[in-house]
Amino acid sequence: MKTHKAVASLISAAQNELRCVYSRNEAEQTALRRRAQSGELLKVYDGIPSLYANTAYWDGLTPPERTLHMARALAQEHPQWVFGGLVAVSAYGFEHQWHLHDGCITIVTSDHGSRQCHQRLRHVYMPDMNNPKTHHEASGLSLISPARTLVEAAIDLDFRFALPIFDSALAKGITKEGIAADCVQWRIDYARVFRLLRYANERSENGGESLARGTIIEDRFLTPRIQVTVTDPQTNTEHRVDFVWKLDDGRVIVAEYDGTQKYVDPAMTDNRSIQEVVAKERARDEGLKRAGATEIVHFTYVDVIERTPLRVKLIKAGVPQVETSA
């Protein structure tokens, strides 16, 4: 049928342009809904316009990619829109936890009092939205500035979820001075931003480690040094460890963030068996002890997200807690 051919063309064009499918044509909308009812398409955004994607294609996308696909489709229909929130975070490539994506899209508006979630579209008030606006070539979207993206993350997210975004931004060359200047320009309560600037560190290796450090700080443990290189005196092998606490009583506590991927992804294990990976980890721990570590803590992403398992491990290892995390 002609309509089916037209819809097939819409789907193909959308995927080539890395965006979702939509149409303002009534017949094509009916065809899209019919294909969604059959399971061939997914309705991924119920707004104006409604957005669809091929089911298998959508399943192969990461949450940031899905957010950008929705944003590109909406930008095509609403070219005046300027995007913020996780759209901007994803477009700039800042590290963040994927579970933060909830299917909503954030745009900025100069209309006051608009910080409300209306269905799947969030409006964020910005008095002069054109001043920090930038056209981002890689994503094809109009975005708020990187500095403003970080300020919004500090306001909207818990400290531990905002820290990975700040760490990553610093590693990409965004300066603390630029972020602080944005706070002054917009005359906001910047205590949350400055707390993040105090602890942000571009040397963090990935978002998982940043999340772990943010959780450690939130739970009032002494802030660790990160990415510390130590040398095994027996083998002369250098090891870079994720977190280190050197305490006044001479103890040295090391903590290692172990992503589960390390044990199940052949790319992470160099196709070695789990037993080989565990044996190598044990040998590494022995080397760290010879280098001066008195306690070694291993924790996972699940430990960090659930908080209590990480807290118990750190307390058991003797990591001190401080009076305040501010």
Task: Look at residue 118 in the predicted model and tell me its pLDDT.
Answer: 59
d(CA 28, CA 10): 9
pLDDT tier for residue 305 given thresholds of 50, 70 and 90: very high
Task: Look at residue 269 in the predicted model and tell me its pLDDT.
Answer: 47
The full DSSP string for 2-26 is: HHHHHHHHHHHHHHHTTS-B--S-H
Task: Look at residue 68 in the predicted model and tell me its pLDDT.
Answer: 98
Place of tokens 């019919």: 34
Q: Which two tokens stand for residue 285?
A: 């721990």
d(CA 19, CA 59): 14
Q: In the chain, which ranges are continuous DSSP H helix? A: 2-16, 26-38, 55-59, 63-77, 85-91, 146-156, 159-171, 176-186, 191-199, 207-218, 261-264, 266-269, 274-290, 301-306, 308-317
Which residues are CB-neighbours of 294 under 8 A, at least 6 positions away?
A: 251, 252, 253
Which residues are CB-neighbours of 188 under 8 A, at least 6 positions away?
A: 151, 155
The hierarchical CATH code for the domain 209-317 is 3.40.1350
Q: What is the mean pLDDT of residues 200-221?
A: 97
Residue 183 has pLDDT above 90, yes or no: no
- Answer whether 92's CB lies under 8 Å from 149's CB: yes
What is the distance in angstroms between the CA of the first residue and the CA of the last residue of the chain?
A: 64
Q: What is the pLDDT of residues 1-56, one digit of tens each?
A: 445 788 899 999 999 999 999 999 999 999 999 999 999 999 999 988 999 999 99
* 209 CB neighbour count, 10 Å cutoff: 24
**C-alpha dihedral (34, 38, 40, 44), degrees to nearest 10:** 70
Residue 161 has pLDDT above 70, yes or no: yes
Q: Supply the pTM of this predicted model.
A: 0.89
Q: What is the pLDDT of residues 120-138, one digit of tens each?
A: 899 887 766 555 667 899 9
pLDDT tier for residue 313 given thresholds of 50, 70 and 90: very high
Question: Domain-by-domain residue ranges, the chain?
Answer: 1-60, 64-202, 209-317
Q: What are phi and psi of 141, to 5 degrees?
A: -115, 155
Q: What is the mean pLDDT of residues 104-119?
A: 71
